């Protein structure tokens, strides 16, 4: 039988706060636009499942993901990522 290993990672408290803040901004903007996750998917090209993981703080965004979401939502990428800009 194959050895099934899962990779886990731990975030320090500052990183957890950053991920949680990002997740909140992504969710708040989408809901404020009245968009479903499918709407966000069609505007950003990011799968609705991945958007769900981002909004729940279960996935870390790449720079490309931040840029795509920011463009779709009409916000500054720096603000979306860090709450600044």
Tens digits of residue pLDDT in 11-51: 677 666 667 799 999 999 999 999 999 999 999 999 999 99
Say if CB 43 and CB 71 are below 8 A apart. no
- What CATH class has 20-82? mainly alpha
Say if CB 85 and CB 76 are below 8 A apart. yes
The residues spanned by each domain of the chain are: 20-82
> Rounded to two decimals, what is the model's pTM?
0.80
Say if CB 62 and CB 50 are below 8 A apart. no
């Amino acid at each position: 039988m194959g050895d099934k290993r899962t990779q886990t990672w731990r975030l320090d408290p500052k990183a957890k706060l950053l991920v949680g803040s990002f997740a909140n901004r992504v969710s708040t903007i989408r809901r404020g636009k009245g968009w479903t996750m499918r709407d966000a998917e069609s505007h950003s090209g990011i799968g609705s499942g991945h958007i769900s993981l981002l909004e729940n703080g279960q996935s870390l965004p790449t720079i490309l993901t931040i840029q795509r979401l920011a463009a779709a939502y009409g916000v500054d990428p720096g603000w979306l990522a860090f709450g600044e800009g």
